[in-house]
Structures are given as structure tokens and as C-alpha cells.
Chains A and B, each alone.
Chain A
Amino acid sequence: MDPTPRVITPDEVQRKSGYQSMEPPKRPPWWGIDRDPARRPGVPRMRQPQPWPNTRFPPERQPGTPAVFKHGRPNKPFPPVFGTSCPPRGLSGAIRSVAYGLPDHYPTHWLLLLLGDRIESWGTRARRILPVALPVAILGFLVRRALA
């Protein structure tokens, strides 16, 4: 690494800017404050193993029923902590269950999940609309027949 890289001036930027340069750069006063990689918290990305403060590992297993499935990679253990929001239900739940039977590197896994999402969405919408729309439609049909 060159310890003192050449920094071009705003004038040079304008001159070299070919087709478009909207405005000269305005470097802020704190420019380069984290130029030293030692000041960057994510460098190196993989550090020497060290647990985080207050860690109790391995965590004990969460009781209760997970709302989330394990995907179908053999030998993958079920993690000790999991989400419990919105458990699977109905046809969409069944499709999701089939989807999670496949490992997550199969495109079919994801496409089935998207299908499950759409079915849940259509089903929810139908359950809200049909109690109103169906009687109105039947009434309209009967009125038309009576008039005819």
C-alpha cells in the first residue's frame, strides 16, 4: 500500500470528467478519519475466535412449538432458539411444509414457498370479500331471474 496516495484536486476532477461532472467533490472535514484499516471494526472479517460478552453457550433449548420449519438439508440440527410468530395453517401451511422438505439450494424449495405465500394471500382476501360479495351476487342473480 502506498502510504501517501496522490489526491487529485477538484479542478482536476472537473477537467478529467469526460461527459459529465455535476459538481466538484466537497470532501468533509473528517475525510479519511477511518482510512487506517485498524480503525475499521470489520477488518479482518474473520477474527480469532472469542465469545461475545454475556454469552452463555450452548444456549438451552427453547420450549414450545416453532412456527418455522427446518429446511430439508440432511443432518442440519434444529437450532436452540426459534421464532413462534404466525404458525403455518391450512393449504398454504401444507405447501410450505412440502417446500421445507427440500433443501434451500433447490430452486423448487423457493418457488413452492412463493406459491404458499400467494395461496395464503388469495385465501385471506377471499375470506374477507366472499361473506359480502357472495350474498350480493346471489341476490343480484335472483333479482335478475325474477325480473326476467
Chain B
Amino acid sequence: MKALTYDGPYRVKVRNKPEPRIEHPQDGIVRVTAAAICGSDLHLLHGLIPDTRIGFTFGHEFTGVVEELGPEAQGVRKGDRVMLPFQIFCGGCYFCTRGLTSCCESTNPATDAGTGIYGYSHTMGGYDGGQAEYVRVPFIGVDAEKIPDDVEDLDALPITDAFATGYQAAEMCELKGGETVLVLGCGPVGLFSMWSAWAMGAERVIAVDHVDYRLEFARNWLGVETLNFRDIDLVTTIKGMTDDRGADATVDAVGLEAAGSPVHRALGIYLKLEAGSPQALNFAIHATRKGGTISVIGAYGPPYNGVDIGTYMNKAQRMNTGQASVKRYMPRLLEHVQSGRIRPQQVFTHRLPLDRAPEGYRMFAQKRDGCVKVALLPDGNATLH
């Protein structure tokens, strides 16, 4: 089968690989109909996530059709259209039963920090991802969510990660209605955070980025206020916009490749002396009011960062973190899609066949051609619902 494979930092290629097989009685094999390139795939591409091996297939955001089932897989049938949460979870361990499927204990020996994730290095379990024609899906009966007939694949696709992650980011802001929410980063997760902040009753939503076309996309799609931090002193401006206090809540939807500090980029990204650049987190600490909430959904690598922890402590802030436990969000987000409140597929500015995946990665990484998000279609449009 054709699959995108990692070829060392900044290089990916589409190659032929052996098709996946059932390796556990609760496994299934899914034929991928659509896979997205996520912003966090770029951290893998840039060699920033430890234990990313040559030949590994990326892709943790995908939809597909069930092709094969293990003898103990229940709840789905061959031919079902399904979407898969980006984490692999068992459904029965301590954390899964309590709703934190992103912390499942049954799928990743490599670290205590996270559960198994499709296509996200051997640090996250060593499971090949969905930027391929077929993918092995452990615990398919528990993890897979059937896509309703009236929902298109490309509308379901962001629910498997970006939409659910953005929604949880807004949820972690603990909004009660009437707050000013600052969202750092106008990538797909940031955009869905803004949508969700409106849905949860934010009074103002202010989007921040340094790429003008993305700010324009946020302004046009969601009607938010926008700031380009290349043009202004971000923290001073935010305080000026909020009675000199700062935002009530801030979402960090950027993570470890943040721009805005040449020193942190040099130390963290080029010299690897810290785990990427923590500049977005530092912006968040300074731009959030005292007693406010910071919601961290951006991906950071291990193990340490130069975070302004003293300011954070003195401002009596609260930080909520965590990967989205996607499965619990799926029914609500599907309801929003089915009711027409959002068409998630509008974030896909580019739709490419799998063969052109390396081009999609380059375009997305270099923020060229107005790229917001890329969908890869292994069989072209033919299999899309």
C-alpha cells in the first residue's frame, strides 16, 4: 500500500509499505478515505519529537471505512464509515473509565506522559498513522465513532483532533459567559477554539498570529478581533484593550514552534537546549489578567522549557492542560455539525491526493498559498461520502 513515510528531519516521502494486519483480537483494519495534516505533524517533520524513526508513517487525524475486524472487535461492522479519535484507548482502565481517554494506561509503554497516538513517534507508542491507504486500529469497537449518513467525511475529519482539541481548549478556559478570551495561534486548533469560545458565551474573542492571511481567515470565518504581534507590542496592546488588566482567559494553540522570541527559537528549536520555544506560553502568562486562566493545548516536547514561572505564580493564575479526550466530545460536535452551526471542512484550504502529501507538508509548514489545513485523499475524491 502507499503510505507517507518519515525520511529524516524536513523530509517525507510516499512509499510502498506492507499493508497492516490484525495483531490483537480487538484490532480492526480501516481503509482511509481522508487524512489531515495536523500542525503537530510539523513538530515530527522538523525532528522535534524524540524517537521519530525513519520509515514511520504520520497521521493521527483520519476517517475511513472498516475493512477487517479481529475476533473480539464489537460495535462496528465491515463497511461502516468511521472516524477515529487520535489517541488509542482501551475504554476500561483507570483513566478511560473516568473520561480521560487521552491518558489511557493500556497502549503506550514508552512514557507515562501520554497514551498511544496514531503516527506520532515511538514516544507515543510506535503506531503507524493514517496518512496511508490502510491503518491498523487497536480497540476499534471502543474507539471508532460511526459517521452519520448526513455528515460528510471532510466535516467529520477535524472532529478526530483539531475541532475536539479546540473545543476542549475553550472548555478549559472555564467560561461562564461574558469573558474576554485571547487565542494565540490562528491555525486550525486556534480557529476551532475561537468558534468554541463564542459557543460558550465569550464576550470578546481576540485572535493573535503573525501570519496575515490566517488572521484574515479568522476574522472572516468567525468575526473575531485580530492582532498581528509582529506589528505591535502584544502584551501592552492586550492590556490596553482590556482596561489594563489582560484577558480573562488565554488559549495557547501554538506549542513548541512559537515565533516571537529569537532567543527562545535559537535555544529551543535550533540548539535543542530547551524543548522548543515557550514564547506562546510566556505571552499567555503576561497577557492574561491576574487570577485568570490559561488553557494550554499546544504541543510541547519534553523535558524542560524557559517558562516565566515567577510571573505566573505572582499573578495567581490557573493553568489547565491536556490532550483532548476526543471520544467524549464527538457526539456534541457532531450535533453542531448536523445543526449547521459549523462546517468544519471550511478549514481545508487544500485537498490533495496522498501522492502529493510531501507538497502538502511543505506548503503547510512554510505557510504558503494561503494554506490553513491540508486534507489528503488516498483515493482521490472517489471514495469521499
Residues of A in contact with B (beta carbons under 8 Å apart): 1-2, 5-8, 13, 16-23, 25-28, 30-35, 39-43, 45-60, 62-64, 66-71, 73, 76, 78-86, 88, 96, 99-100, 104-107, 109-111, 113-114, 116-118, 120-121, 124-125
Contact = CB atoms under 8 A, between A and B. Distances in A.
A9 to B, nearest CB: 10
Interface residues of B, number: 97
5 contacts: A5-B178, A17-B240, A56-B92, A81-B138, A120-B53
Contacts of B310: none
A14 to B, nearest CB: 10
A88 to B, nearest CB: 8
B223 A30 contact: no
Contacts of A30: 198-199, 341
Interface string B160-196: 0000000010011001111000000000000000001
B88 to A, nearest CB: 7
A28 B194 CA distance: 11
Interface string B332-361: 100010000100000000000000000000
Contact of B224 (A16, A25, A78): A25
Interface in B42-97: 47, 50-57, 72, 74-75, 88, 90-94, 96-97
A7 B53 CA distance: 51
Contacts of A116: 51
Contacts of A84: 23, 126
Contact of A20 (B25, B105, B241): B241
Nearest to A10: B204
Contacts of A18: 237, 239-241, 244
Contacts of B106: 58-59, 79-81
Contacts of A34: 196, 199-201, 332
Interface string B2-31: 000001110000000000000111100000
B91 A54 contact: yes
B114 to A, nearest CB: 10
B134 interface: no
Given A28-B223, A43-B171, A83-B116, A121 B328 contact: no
B263 interface: no
Contacts, number: 269
Nearest to B72: A56
A81 B92 contact: no
A16 B123 contact: no
B109 interface: yes
A20 to B, nearest CB: 5
B99 A57 contact: no
Contacts of A118: 47
B145 to A, nearest CB: 11
A42 B91 contact: no
Nearest to B90: A59
A13 B204 contact: yes
Contacts of B237: 18-20
Interface in B238-260: 239-244
B92 A23 contact: no
Contacts of A13: 204, 225
A76 to B, nearest CB: 7
Interface in B100-140: 100-101, 105-113, 116, 122-123, 125-128, 138-139
B111 A86 contact: no
A85 B91 contact: no
Contacts of A49: 94, 97-98
The 8 A-B residue pairs with the shortest CB-CB distance, nearest first, are A57-B92, A18-B240, A83-B126, A26-B223, A5-B178, A55-B91, A52-B91, A113-B50
Contacts of A7: 177-178, 203
Contact of B199 (A31, A66, A109): A31
B51 A33 contact: no
B142 interface: yes
Contacts of A60: 24-25, 72
B96 A20 contact: no
A57 B227 contact: no
Contacts of A35: 175-177, 199-201
B236 A19 contact: yes
Nearest to B113: A104
Contacts of B107: 79, 81-82
B282 to A, nearest CB: 20
Nearest to A26: B223
Contacts of B93: 57
